[in-house]
Amino acid sequence: MTCERLHDVIVEVAAGTATADDARALRTHLTAGCPTCASRLAEAEAVVGQLALALPPVSPSPAVRDRLMKRVGGDDRVVVPFPDRPSPRPARSPWLPAAVAAGIAAGLAGVAVYVPLARDRDALRSDLARLDGELRAAADTLHVLRSPSVQVVSLGGGEPQPGARGRIFWDRARGEWRFYAAELRPPAAGRTYELWLIDDQNRKIPAGTFDVDARGEGELRVSLPAGIGTIVAAAVTDEPAGGVPQPTGSIHLVGKIEPVPSGG
């Protein structure tokens, strides 16, 4: 498709109404490297993004916020810190407390509305939110397993446990790892297993600790920040309970990660 024909596609992609075929054609074209179309798309998205501000806001019911905060509260993902930033939490900016206060006020308004409701209805809603969360987690896992952008990495056992195995499903589009370990012995008392990302500078980035169950299986879900660099390997070591910022223990699982062509 020519850039001229793609101009209309760009408008529809920005509007979210492009057909799958058109969107794919544009993606292919952009991946091949076309600065004209790339800047047209950025411009269209910027304008279209602001257009929604013309719509007078309509507040969703407080239950929507409630449900989301509950779901977020139960989300036990491990977030990998940015490699160039040792502290995982950036300093709070001065405006944030006010915004948080506004959030609390909105939450209180929700409470006021729901106080008259029967207790069992709250319990039901909480059950529903939990089930909803579990269902979404299962759907998420399925999505990752099906996604064409997923790379599968195998990890083999290290010296202490040659029979141990591990597998990582790396969803490059979503920047997410699903890590599963099998046939690992439970760690010694006061110790835990810790997963590491190793980049091409041989830096070891902590990606969370995990336990294994009676069958020797463990799992971890890891969100990777954008711009984390090129990850070339993954490893599991045993470490003091709670984990450590840099590996100290012996390697129980290790695997090399093949690079994929850029654009994936």
In the complex, minimum distance from the CB of residue 227 to other proteins, in angstroms, rounded to a whole number:
8
Percent helix, strand, coil in the chain (nearest 5)?
40, 25, 35
Distance of alpha carbon 199 from alpha carbon 123, whole angstroms: 46
State how far the Cα of 211 lies from the Cα of 187, in Å rounded to an integer.
8
CA distance 180 to 87: 27
What 3-state DSSP class applies to 241?
Answer: coil
Distance separating alpha carbons of residues 67 and 116, to the nearest angstrom:
18
Pick the closer one to other proteins by CB: 148 or 162.
Answer: 148
Tokens of 93: 């900016």
Residue written as tokens 């009676």?
214
Smallest distance from other proteins to CB 75, Å? 7
Closer to other proteins by Cβ: residue 99 or 123: 99
Considering beta carbons, is residue 168 or 224 the nearer one to other proteins?
224
Q: Min. distance of Cβ 185 from other proteins in angstroms?
A: 30
Smallest separation (angstroms) from other proteins to the CB of 95: 6
Choose among 180, 223, 191, 213: nearest CA to 81.
Answer: 223
Q: Which residues are near other proteins by CB under 8 A?
A: 7-8, 11-12, 14-19, 42-61, 63-65, 67-69, 71-73, 75, 77, 79, 81, 88-90, 93, 95-96, 99-100, 102-103, 106-107, 136, 174-176, 223-226
Query: Would you say 202 and 216 are in contact if contact means Cβ atoms under 8 Å apart?
Result: no
Q: Sign of torsion, CA 131 133 135 137?
A: negative
Q: Quick one: 42 or 163, whose CB is closer to other proteins?
A: 42
CB of 210 to other proteins, least distance (A): 17
Q: Could you write out the DSSP letters of every residue in 105-157?
A: HHHHHHHHHHTTS-HHHHHHHHHHHHHHHHHHHHHHHHHHHH-TTEEEEEEEE
Report angle CA 82, 250, 80 to the nearest 5 degrees: 15
**For other proteins, the closer CB: 143 or 204:** 143
Compare residues 151 and 216 and give the one whose CB is closer to other proteins.
151
Min dist. Cβ of residue 183 to other proteins (A): 30
CB-nearer residue toward other proteins: 6 or 235: 6
| Distance of closest approach, residue 142 Cβ to other proteins, in angstroms | 15
